[in-house]
Amino acid sequence: MDLCCRTRLYYLLDPNSHAKLNFTEFFNVIDGKLKTTKETSQGVNPSTLEKNPPVPVSTREDVDRAVQAAKKASEAWAEVPYKERQALVAKFADSIDLIKEDLAVLLTKEQGKPLQLAHVGIGKAIQFLQGYSQLPDPEEVIEDRPGRRVVTRYAPLGVAVGNVPWNFLTCRIAAAKIGPALIAGNAFILKPSLYTPYCDLKLAELALKYFPAGVVQALSGNDDLGPCLTAHSGVDKISFTGSRATGKKVLQSAAGNLKRVVLELGGNDPAIVCSDVNVKEVAPKLCIAVKRIYVHESIYDDVLETLASTVKNLPVGDGLESTTVIGPVQNHLQFDRVKSLIADIQSHGLKLTAGSTSPSDAGKGYFITPTVVDNPPDASRIVVEEPFDEDEVLRRANDNPMGLGASVWTPDLEKAERLAARLKAGTAWFNSHHELNPNVPWGH
């Protein structure tokens, strides 16, 4: 079959039908088909502790079948022109938009986040896929003169695997792995977290309408699935988002056949708040994706008071309740970890300006009372605000093995650029935190 005929076949796979997916049954997607497994597992709604529907637990044989199908599909998919691959990704994004209400409810049930934030997460996934579908072909002419032409082209690698975490960006992260892999001409296998597999499996099921068999697949499973995929000799690229400890294992297992690997690991992001900010405007924004907050001593008390007031008034509860702003911790392991941090705060007698070390009364789920700790020592496990000069705060902000992102808060852009240039972080924001766009590199 020539390229033109093959391309027409791809478009015929899009039935222009947007029938609603069944959101009560969940399957692996292997070689263009929905597949069950002998063994299943069930996630838990972290707000209610009720079990979510069964999902497959993939075996090594399932992995072999998926990789084999991806290998076969990748050869033909790589020959489809760049713009046509983008067009199909755009159609896929549009189809997600048509079922975003159902996906948002599903995301809240599996992850716990408030429904309004689930809508934001699904919207970001759509935005990123649409953004990727508009990026220019990265081919670059380096030199072009009589008798000599030098061109940089980016060839597909083959089979890419994307490991997606359970954190609050899970759907956006899935989209950020699926879109670039497909547009670059690779076949893609999505591996969701065992705690939050539901939305990711539905995204892969929806993709069956738009891509040939084997181009987009998904496998859910237990802790054995990730290592099985990363070590598989038929996989050419791994994109992993998760902890540093697991990232090290991914890198080791991928070395067997020299796979290309991208690791997006823990952040522990710092925010540096300078003395010239509008405290009332900035303090509430510091609740978003920031782990450590360093506040200039001249505004420390004002920021602390405003931040504490904001935190005290955040409604905690089931993500499906319209008034909820803070949902539960996503899973029992993280819940136990946070409780151990709270126990550490209590045992060291640290001062709280908001919240409590007592159990939350928000419900029987994995709920924690939002808490602000006032000026803890560096040796404590909880680190937030602290007075500083520039050299001191930079030393402390950089004194961490992680470095995903950081932010500087000041209306003085010259000062912001000076501080940001010395931050050891992949991305530095000014007067915001965690603003992501599909055309901007992320991490380092």
Which amino acids are annotated catalytic?
264
> Any alpha helices (H) in 319-389, and if so which ranges?
332-347
Encoded tokens for 384: 């937030």
Distance CA 58, CA 61 (A): 8
Residue whose C-alpha is closest to residue 229's, from 173, 190, 269: 190
* Neighbouring-strand partners of residue 272: 294, 408
Helix, strand, coil fractions of the chain, as percent rounded to 5: 40, 15, 45
**Rounded to the nearest 10 degrees, what angle do helices 100-111 and 198-207 cross at?**
150
Distance CA 406, CA 393 (A): 12
Greatest distance between any 2 Cα atoms in the chain:
76
Is residue 140 within 8 A of residue 163, CB to CB? The reply is no
Distance CA 229, CA 238 (A): 9
**What is the number of residues in the chain?**
444
Is residue 245 within 8 A of residue 265, CB to CB? The reply is no
Encoded tokens for 412: 């003085």
Encoded tokens for 387: 């007075």
Encoded tokens for 323: 């008034």
Q: What is the dihedral of CA 333, 248, 167, 364, to 10 degrees?
A: 0
